């Protein structure tokens, strides 16, 4: 900008006068009406969301029941948005498989508790006037001599039809659950339950070879073997699994309650700041250190510090023996926790392929914008506005920018004093698929800066450590760009202002269209200056055509 002829805000007097004149002209011509934007007009960046498609809406209120060896759980999804939303989620630790190895039958107390839980679940589903529940039973029920009898009793008592699935099908559904969160993922899915452990390979969005094994901790405990004999048994079984599955040197995806308990202990050991299990990543060295940490500490102390149930924690030592051998034999490149498993796989089973192929993060953000934003569709306008600042970023960053723009206004109902914090917590704690932990923090920080100029006093400072300096700066620039861009709120088919970023010269130009000029007031000018400061850039503001 020029150094002379400025007003009190620091803007050239002649430019201020021309903007004011243009504002008067524009307002008099009634250019301030707002009309909805058809997102389908820009399929290259903002594909038409599928949540209004009848095939997707049919996934609203999808109820699934998982009758496992340890627990019986009902989950009711609102699954239309691609990322599973848990409308209802209840688990009862019944222990159906306890004592199965000795008696060959389901645990009597567990059977009674499971029947009561399933009766309750069916009543809940009936009260919601939804489609019939889909229920599956896994290792304990399929192995027990009275498993079929139990399912018949449940059907007679509740009308709920339980499908007993074999190990290969259990592995397939668990792997599909992983694909729900990681579209196109590749690696080895390892799902541990109370009585069995399943492996399945995934590649390019499909499930390949899959096997089952008797390595669930309940079944291992029932063998009554010495530690050395049990180690030999585990070694033999895992060696056989490796022979069946072949080399698997990519990512190891861990599914199941025992693995989640170990991950929580790993978080405790590392003093990890973000307590979100889904997509939590560990190295082989991390797991080895945590297995030693478990062996050296009292389980009750670990339970109280991690919030893991006593029933689950009692199985952790046996689960560590299995995990240690699996890692040694399969030698994965890295390890990630998946909170999505068989239940999410059952939802994935019901999705049309077009919905499966969508990015779960972006589809969920579209859904949230349509539901909660003041002007649904403005996220696309904002994305187009800020992207000149990020022309050379990879696709992985572009999707985060897109997500941020879609979510930039969805927490507007929060109290202004807490809006920035609500934005950050929404991004970092929300049940969203397709987000690494660093990406959660990046998205949250960008949204925090959408409402707050500085982050120095934020109570989330320890989470910022998950980002490097470059990511911190990029998130701040994105947030401040959205903060400024949101000031240029106008009808969707209007010609807004645009940015021109010269990275080499460190110069940011704002070109105001006739319709955008009236929106560039004092507050907007202040926010534009803040954006330039974040970029360490000089600024230039002009009217289109100048």
In tens, the pLDDT along 79-126 reads: 666 778 889 999 999 999 989 989 999 999 999 999 999 999 999 999
What is the domain count for the chain? 2
Residue 534: C-alpha distances to residues 121, 168, 474, 479, 509 (Å): 53, 54, 9, 10, 14
- On whether residue 387 sits in a domain, the answer given is no
Say yes or no: 104 and 182 in one domain.
Answer: no
Give pLDDT, residue 248.
85
Mean pLDDT for the stretch of residues 333-341: 94
Say yes or no: 180 and 156 in one domain.
Answer: no
How many other C-beta atoms lie within 10 A of the C-beta of residue 503? 12
Express as a percent the part of the chain with pLDDT over 70.
Answer: 88
Residue 110: C-alpha distances to residues 94, 152, 262, 450 (Å): 5, 16, 25, 51
Residue 464: pLDDT over 60: yes
Say yes or no: 67 and 129 in one domain.
Answer: yes
Residue 36: pLDDT over 80: no
Mean pLDDT for the stretch of residues 261-280: 95
Say yes or no: 328 and 182 in one domain.
Answer: yes
Say yes or no: 136 and 174 in one domain.
Answer: no
Say yes or no: 171 and 68 in one domain.
Answer: no
Provide φ and ψ at 47, rounded to 5°.
-60, 150
Give pLDDT, residue 490.
65
Say yes or no: 152 and 263 in one domain.
Answer: no
Residue 169: pLDDT over 80: yes
Give pLDDT, residue 402.
96
**In 3-state terms, the chain is what percent helix, strand and coil (to 5)?**
50, 15, 35
Give pLDDT, residue 491.
64
Tell me: the pLDDT tens digits for 472-489?
999 999 999 999 999 987
Q: How many Cα atoms within 13 Å fall on the side-chain side of residue 256?
A: 34
Say yes or no: 113 and 220 in one domain.
Answer: no
- On whether residue 186 sits in a domain, the answer given is yes
DSSP per-residue codes, 208-247? EEEEEES--HHHHHHT---HHHHHHHHHHHHHHHHHHH--
Say yes or no: 223 and 322 in one domain.
Answer: yes
Mean pLDDT for the stretch of residues 182-204: 93
Quick one: tokens of 63? 């109820």
Residue 43: pLDDT over 70: no
Give pLDDT, residue 358.
86
- On whether residue 204 sits in a domain, the answer given is yes
- On whether residue 239 sits in a domain, the answer given is yes
Residue 11: pLDDT over 60: no
Residue 74: pLDDT over 90: yes
- On whether residue 331 sits in a domain, the answer given is yes
- On whether residue 248 sits in a domain, the answer given is yes
pTM (2 d.p.): 0.86
Contact at 8 Å (CB) between 82 and 355? yes
pLDDT band at 22 (very low <50, low <70, confident <90, very high): low
- On whether residue 187 sits in a domain, the answer given is yes
Residue 335: pLDDT over 80: yes
Provide φ and ψ at 48, rounded to 5°.
-60, 120
Burial string for 469-487 (b: 16+ CB within 10 Å, else e) reads: eebbebbbbbbbbbbbbbb
Say yes or no: 214 and 122 in one domain.
Answer: no
Mean pLDDT for the stretch of residues 352-367: 88
Domain boundary among 164, 182, 205: 164
Express as a percent the part of the chain with pLDDT over 90.
Answer: 67
Domain boundary among 142, 164, 186: 164
Say yes or no: 200 and 223 in one domain.
Answer: yes
What is the pLDDT of the chain when averaged over all its residues? 88
Say yes or no: 218 and 259 in one domain.
Answer: yes
pLDDT band at 456 (very low <50, low <70, confident <90, very high): confident
Range of the domain at 331: 167-275+315-344
pLDDT band at 29 (very low <50, low <70, confident <90, very high): very low
User: In CATH, what number is assigned to the domain containing residue 332?
Assistant: 3.30.420.150
Mean pLDDT for the stretch of residues 326-335: 95
Question: If you search the block for the tokens 């109280």, which residue do you land on?
Answer: 304
Closest among 288, 289, 262, 280 to 335, alpha carbons compared: 280
Mean pLDDT for the stretch of residues 241-246: 95
User: In CATH, what number is assigned to the domain containing residue 88?
Assistant: 3.30.420.40
pLDDT band at 535 (very low <50, low <70, confident <90, very high): very high
Give pLDDT, residue 383.
94
- On whether residue 80 sits in a domain, the answer given is yes
Mean pLDDT for the stretch of residues 209-217: 95
């Amino acid at each position: 900008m020029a150094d002379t002829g400025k007003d009190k805000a620091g803007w050239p007097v002649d430019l201020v006068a021309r903007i004011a004149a243009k504002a008067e002209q524009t307002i008099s011509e009634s250019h301030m009406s707002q009309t909805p934007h058809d997102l389908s007009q820009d399929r290259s960046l903002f594909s038409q969301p599928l949540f209004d498609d009848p095939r997707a809406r049919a996934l609203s209120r999808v109820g699934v029941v998982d009758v496992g060896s340890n627990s019986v759980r009902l989950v009711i999804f609102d699954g239309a948005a691609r990322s599973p939303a848990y409308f209802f989620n209840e688990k009862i630790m019944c222990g159906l498989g306890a004592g199965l190895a000795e008696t060959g039958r389901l645990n009597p107390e567990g059977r009674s508790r499971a029947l009561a839980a399933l009766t309750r679940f069916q009543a809940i589903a009936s009260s919601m006037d939804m489609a019939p529940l889909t229920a599956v039973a896994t290792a304990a029920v399929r192995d027990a001599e009275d498993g079929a009898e139990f399912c018949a009793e449940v059907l007679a008592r509740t009308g709920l039809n339980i499908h007993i699935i074999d190990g290969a099908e259990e592995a397939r559904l668990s792997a599909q659950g992983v694909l729900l969160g990681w579209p196109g993922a590749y690696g080895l899915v390892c799902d541990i339950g109370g009585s069995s452990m399943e492996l399945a390979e995934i590649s390019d969005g499909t499930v390949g070879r899959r096997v089952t094994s008797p390595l669930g901790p309940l079944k291992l405990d029932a063998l009554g073997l010495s530690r050395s004999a049990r180690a030999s048994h585990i070694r033999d079984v895992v060696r056989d699994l490796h022979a069946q599955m072949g080399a698997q040197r990519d990512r190891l995806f861990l599914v199941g309650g025992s693995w989640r308990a170990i991950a929580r202990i790993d978080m405790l050991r590392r003093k990890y700041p973000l307590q979100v299990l889904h997509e939590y990543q560990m190295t082989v060295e991390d797991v080895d250190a945590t297995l030693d940490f478990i062996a050296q500490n009292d389980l009750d102390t670990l339970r109280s510090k991690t919030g893991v149930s006593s029933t689950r924690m009692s199985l952790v030592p046996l689960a560590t023996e299995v995990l240690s051998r699996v890692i040694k034999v399969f030698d994965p490149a890295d390890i990630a926790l998946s909170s999505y498993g068989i239940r999410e796989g059952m939802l994935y089973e019901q999705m049309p392929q077009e919905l499966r192929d969508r990015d779960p993060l972006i589809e969920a953000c579209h859904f949230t914008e349509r539901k909660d934003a003041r002007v649904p569709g403005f996220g696309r306008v904002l994305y187009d506005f800020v992207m000149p600042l990020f022309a050379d970023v990879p696709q992985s960053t572009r999707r985060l920018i897109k997500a941020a723009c879609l979510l930039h206004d969805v927490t507007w109902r929060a109290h202004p004093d807490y809006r920035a914090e609500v934005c950050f917590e929404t991004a970092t704690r929300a049940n969203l698929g397709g987000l690494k932990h660093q990406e959660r923090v990046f998205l949250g920080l960008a949204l925090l800066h959408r409402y707050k100029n500085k982050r120095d006093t934020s109570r989330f400072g320890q989470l910022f450590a998950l980002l490097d300096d470059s990511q911190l700066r990029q998130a701040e620039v994105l947030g401040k760009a959205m903060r400024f861009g949101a000031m240029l709120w106008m009808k969707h088919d209007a010609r807004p202002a645009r940015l021109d970023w010269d990275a080499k010269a460190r110069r940011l130009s704002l070109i105001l269209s006739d319709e955008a000029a009236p929106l560039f007031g004092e507050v907007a000018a202040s926010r534009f200056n803040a954006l330039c400061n974040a970029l360490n850039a000089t600024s230039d503001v002009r009217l289109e055509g100048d």
